[in-house]
């Protein structure tokens, strides 16, 4: 083999080696780029904002949820709190309080002259569905029913051992808001049913002028 032929073969092998090396490098680089591109697709879908951009949104979300939770907790606290009733004879309404919040209010008829509703601090001592009624003067007994003068509910909070005073319904809703009773607080039947559902034996009742 001549010297020129030997050199030619070396050059040819070097060319082969260079081509092979170039192909290998190109193939590895191409696969590496594909792998990087694939690994970043889920990240771009999951993370829409940088951490610095996401923080204010996260703070707003937490604050909003805290406010919502606070409202829910407040509502639950009111429902769990014991009610008390305040009767204002001057505006002829009864107010249902839970803690310091008015949760309901109803118009009432009050005692007429000579039979004024007593003022002071009392508590519910008697509750009855569909009560019968005895007239305080004539002694006539009126049976329970839709036409009973006591309506659908009785919530008593005062007695002298003989007479009794409390909230009750009436079949004559037109008298509500007027001084017409013998000391009791007359209410529309739908209102006294609602009030009945708010109270229990022992519920405090404050009657003020």
Q: Is 15 tagged catalytic?
A: no
Q: Is 168 tagged catalytic?
A: yes
- Residue 209's alpha-carbon distances to 2, 87, 112, 203, in angstroms, are 133, 8, 13, 20
State both tokens at 70.
């606070």
Q: What is the DSSP string of 111-155?
A: E-TTSPPPPEEEE--EEEES--EE-TTT--EE-SSTT-TTTTEEE
Question: Closest by alpha carbon to 107, among 158, 153, 169, 150?
Answer: 169
Catalytic residue selected from 64, 162, 168, 182 = 168
In the block, residue with structure tokens 């808001």? 177
Q: Would you please indicate which residues are annotated as catalytic (active-site) residues?
A: 168, 184
């Amino acid at each position: 083999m001549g010297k020129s032929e030997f050199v030619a073969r070396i050059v040819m092998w070097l060319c082969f080696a260079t081509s092979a090396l170039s192909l290998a490098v190109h193939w590895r680089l191409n696969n590496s780029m594909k792998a990087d591109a694939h690994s970043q697709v889920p990240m771009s879908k999951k993370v829409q904002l940088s951490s610095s951009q996401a923080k204010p949104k996260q703070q707003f979300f937490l604050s909003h949820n805290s406010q919502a939770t606070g409202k829910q907790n407040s509502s639950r606290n009111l429902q769990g709190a014991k009610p008390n009733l305040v009767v204002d004879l001057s505006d002829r309404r009864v107010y249902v309080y839970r803690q310091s919040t008015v949760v309901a209010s109803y118009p009432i008829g009050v005692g007429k002259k000579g039979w004024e509703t007593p003022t002071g601090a009392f508590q519910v001592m008697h509750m009855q569905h569909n009560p019968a009624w005895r007239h305080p003067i004539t002694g006539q007994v009126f049976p329970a029913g839709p036409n009973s003068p006591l309506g659908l509910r009785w919530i008593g909070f005062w007695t002298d051992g003989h007479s009794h005073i409390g909230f009750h319904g009436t079949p004559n809703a037109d008298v509500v808001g007027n001084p017409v009773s013998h000391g009791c607080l007359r209410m529309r039947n739908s209102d006294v049913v609602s009030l009945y559902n708010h109270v229990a034996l022992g519920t405090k009742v404050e009657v003020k002028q």
